[in-house]
Amino acid sequence: MQQLRSVLEEAQSNGVAVGHFNISDWILLKAVFASAQELKVPVIVGASEGERAYLGVAQIAALVRSLREEQIVPIFLNADHTHSLDSAIAAAKAGFDSIVYDLSALPFDENVKKTRHGVAILVEGEIGNIGTGSEIHESVPDHSKDLSTPEEAKQFVESTGVDILAPAVGNTHGMLQTMVQGSVKKRLDLRRIREIKHASRSLLTLHGGSGTDDHDFQDAIAAGINIIHINTELRLAWRRGLEAAFAKKPREIVPYKLLPIAEESIKEVVLDRLRLFNQPERQPLAQPGLHQ
């Protein structure tokens, strides 16, 4: 979708990134929407194949379309981690703005060949290994050998025609227990991001952003990251929010009196991440004297 491309290009020239948040129910979607609305920044709502299967492909698209009508800032819908052409087509038909066509589990050449066939709407391709599952993992798998190289990135973008590239640059899906506690943060290979950006000249997405060091995020944006995915942190806030709601109101059975507590818990995370991703743009805005 052309509008998403121009929002991403504008973000790039402003030195900010667009936040991408996964949803699989209405509470998550409400929280993401309300946060973007409050901060007046564009946002991407993502739904993977599993999330789409639960909420319904057409239903997610309809919900986002209805929110878009009352939205003053752009809200986009992304079909996250799509592994088959059929499900990519179903999402495109339902009205999704972009597709992450993820064939990264295949050997590189096969990934190139098949991704090329899928490039119809705004498509993101993935190379390297960043793991699967936005969940709490017991131990961290060693992905150090599966990082993307600048040469690979250039070749992939040129031979597939993807609009957006998702490289493996130290990011991983899911979080460790130590990251949930906050004692350990994911660190990114910033030099690699810069080199990949330089070689590929492509829009870049950072998947598996939950639990990443804040400074690394800012440096990664400066190095060329345009979209940042957050899922596990939202799922965690969703669960904690529900638990808090039940603990706070043990006898309550009215959903609309319980669910707003979970929504607030999710919103806190989304607002915090969106503020960080949109920071460089906000600073010059606060000092109008700097504008020529």
Residues that are catalytic: 80
For residue 205, the minimal CB distance to Zn ion (Å) is 8
Please say which residue, 202 or 245, places its beta carbon nearer to Zn ion. 202
User: How many Å apart are CA 30 and CA 35, to the nearest integer?
Assistant: 9
Please say which residue, 197 or 207, places its beta carbon nearer to Zn ion. 207
For residue 80, the minimal CB distance to Zn ion (Å) is 6
For residue 128, the minimal CB distance to Zn ion (Å) is 12
For residue 85, the minimal CB distance to Zn ion (Å) is 19
The contact set with Zn ion (CB under 5 A) reads: 207
H/E stretch holding 195 reads helix 190-200
DSSP-based three-state secondary structure for 271:
helix
Please say which residue, 258 or 273, places its beta carbon nearer to Zn ion. 273
Please say which residue, 245 or 274, places its beta carbon nearer to Zn ion. 274
CA 21 to chain centre: 5
4 Cβ partners below 8 Å, 6+ apart? Answer: 44, 74, 76, 97, 98, 122
Alpha helices by DSSP H, listed for the chain, are 2-14, 26-39, 49-55, 57-70, 85-94, 108-118, 150-160, 177-181, 190-200, 214-223, 232-248, 255-277, 279-286
Closest CA to 29 of 11, 47, 9, 42: 47
Please say which residue, 207 or 273, places its beta carbon nearer to Zn ion. 207
User: How many Å apart are CA 223 and CA 246, to the nearest integer?
Assistant: 43
Whether the CB-CB separation of 174 and 131 falls below 8 Å is answered with yes
Residue nearest to Zn ion (CB): 207
Closest CA to 100 of 127, 62, 131, 68: 127
